[in-house]
C-alpha cells in the first residue's frame, strides 16, 4: 500500500514542478505542495517536529520534517541544483528518529523533478 501512496505523493509533486518549474525557494514548493496535497485529498501534516532520544532520554533539540503524509510517510523537500549525500543522510536520520518505515526526498531545484524513496 505504501508504494501506491508514495506514487500518489510523487505525482502531486510532479504537478507542482510542472506548473512552477525550478528556481523558487524551498518554502514556495512546500506551500504549493500543501495546496496540491489538499486538492487531491491526501492526508498530511506540515512542519512536524520529531523528538530525538539518547539513551532513553528526550533531547532538547528536535528534527522538523516538511510533511508526514498518510500518517506514515515522511516527505522532505529540497530546492537544490542536485541532491548529494548530506540530503540522503538527513532523511535517513529522520527515519531513525521517527521509527517510521518510509520516506521520500523530493528535489524541485532541477529542470525535472528528482526524488528518492527510502525504506527503514
CATH number for position 50: 3.90.320.10
pLDDT for the residue 2 = 60
DSSP state of 114: E
Q: Give the domain extent around 37.
A: 2-119
Helix (H) or strand (E) holding 27: helix 26-39
- CA–CA gap between residue 20 and residue 32 (Å, rounded): 9
pLDDT for the residue 96 = 87
pLDDT for the residue 98 = 85
Instruction: List per-residue pLDDT tens for the chain, 120 residues long.
Output: 568 999 999 999 999 999 999 999 999 999 999 999 999 999 999 999 988 888 989 899 988 999 999 999 999 999 999 888 899 999 998 998 887 889 999 999 999 999 999 998
How many structural domains is the chain composed of? Answer: 1
Amino acid at each position: 500500500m505504501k508504494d501506491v501512496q508514495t506514487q500518489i505523493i510523487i505525482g502531486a509533486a510532479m504537478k507542482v514542478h510542472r506548473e512552477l518549474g525550478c528556481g523558487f525557494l524551498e518554502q514556495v514548493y512546500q506551500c504549493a505542495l500543501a495546496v496540491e496535497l489538499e486538492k487531491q485529498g491526501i492526508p498530511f501534516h506540515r512542519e512536524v517536529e520529531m523528538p530525538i532520544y539518547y539513551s532513553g532520554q528526550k533531547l532538547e533539540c528536535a528534527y522538523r520534517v516538511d510533511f508526514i503524509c498518510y500518517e506514515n510517510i515522511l516527505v522532505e523537500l529540497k530546492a537544490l541544483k542536485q541532491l548529494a549525500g548530506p540530503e540522503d543522510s538527513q532523511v535517513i536520520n529522520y527515519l531513525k528518529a521517527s521509527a517510521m518505515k518510509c520516506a521520500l526526498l523530493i528535489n524541485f531545484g532541477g529542470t525535472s523533478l528528482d526524488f528518492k524513496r527510502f525504506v527503514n
